[in-house]
Amino acid sequence: MKQTVFRSADADDVWQTPLDVFRYAERRWGPFQLDAAASADNALCEKFIDEKQDALKTAWDADQVWVNPPYGSQLKPFLQRAVDQISKGNCKRVVMLIPARTDAIYFHDLVFGKVSQIHFIKTRIKFTNAKKGCPDSGANFASCFVVYDDTLPKKVTTGSWTEDPSTHVSFDAFFGSS
Ligand SMILES: C[S@@+](CC[C@H](N)C(=O)[O-])C[C@H]1O[C@@H](n2cnc3c(N)ncnc32)[C@H](O)[C@@H]1O
C-alpha cells in the first residue's frame, strides 16, 4: 500500500511553497524583495533570512516581504514579528502563507485583529520538497494568505492559484460590523 506522507502543521519544516502558489501571491501582492523564512535550499527571493540569521531578530528590511513561516511553535512569534516590523516601518507589506487555523487564539489576535486581507485557498497545497524538487502528497490542513498592510482596502477573498478569486467580501460584510 502506498504510504501517504502528510506535511504536518507541527513539523520542523523545510518545505517550499510551490512556485505557482508563490507566483499567484506575487501577482496579487508582490513583487517581494525579501523571503523572511528560508534556507539556501528553499529561498524564493534573492534576499532572504535563514534560521541562523533569525528573522525574529533580524530586521525585515524590504518594501514587500514574503513569509512561509515554520508551522510549529515559531508560527505565533512570526505573526507577532510581522506586526512588529510593519509598525516599526521596516517594511510596508508582509504576505504570509499559513495554515487556516481559524480556531486558534493567535489567529483571532494576530490575524483577524491585525491583517488587512485574508485569502482562503481552495483545495490543499502540495508543498514542495526543496531538496528533491518534487511535491509531496499534500498538506493535511487548509491554508490562507494573510496580508499585513494598513494601506490596503480590507477584504476577505477566496480562490485558488489556478483561477481568479471566486469571491471578494469586505470584512464588514463577512464578519458583520459591530
Ligand atoms: C516553510 S519553510 C519556507 C520555505 C520557503 N522559503 C518558502 O517560502 O516556501 C520555512 C523556512 O524557515 C526557516 N526558518 C526556521 N526558523 C527560522 C528563523 N527563526 N528565521 C528565519 N528562517 C527560519 C526554515 O529553515 C525553513 O527553511
Cell numbers 511553535 correspond to 73
CATH number for position 141:
3.40.50.150
Higher-scoring residue by pLDDT: 112, 11? 112
28 lies in some domain: yes
Going from the Cα of 11 to the center of ligand 1, the distance in angstroms, rounded, reads 12
Confidence of residue 173 (pLDDT cuts 50, 70, 90): low
The total of structural domains in the chain comes to: 1
Residue with CA closest to ligand 1 atom 2:
14
Q: What count of other Cβ atoms lies within 10 Å of the Cβ of residue 112? A: 14
2 lies in some domain: no
30 lies in some domain: yes
**What's the grid cell of residue 173?**
460584510
User: For the residues 15-22, what does the mean pLDDT come to?
Assistant: 90
| pLDDT at 9 (0 to 100) | 40
**Residue 9 CB–ligand 1 contact under 6 Å:** no
155 lies in some domain: yes
5 lies in some domain: no
**What's the grid cell of residue 138?**
499534500
The whole domain housing 105 covers 15-175
Q: How many CA atoms lie within 13 A of 1 on its CB side?
A: 3
158 lies in some domain: yes
Q: What is the Cα gyration radius of the chain?
A: 16
User: For the residues 135-144, what does the mean pLDDT come to?
Assistant: 80
**What's the grid cell of residue 127?**
508543498
66 lies in some domain: yes
| pLDDT at 25 (0 to 100) | 95
- Whether the pTM exceeds 0.95: the reply is no
**Residue 26 CB–ligand 1 contact under 6 Å:** no
Going from the Cα of 150 to the center of ligand 1, the distance in angstroms, rounded, reads 25
| pLDDT at 140 (0 to 100) | 82
41 lies in some domain: yes
Going from the Cα of 174 to the center of ligand 1, the distance in angstroms, rounded, reads 32
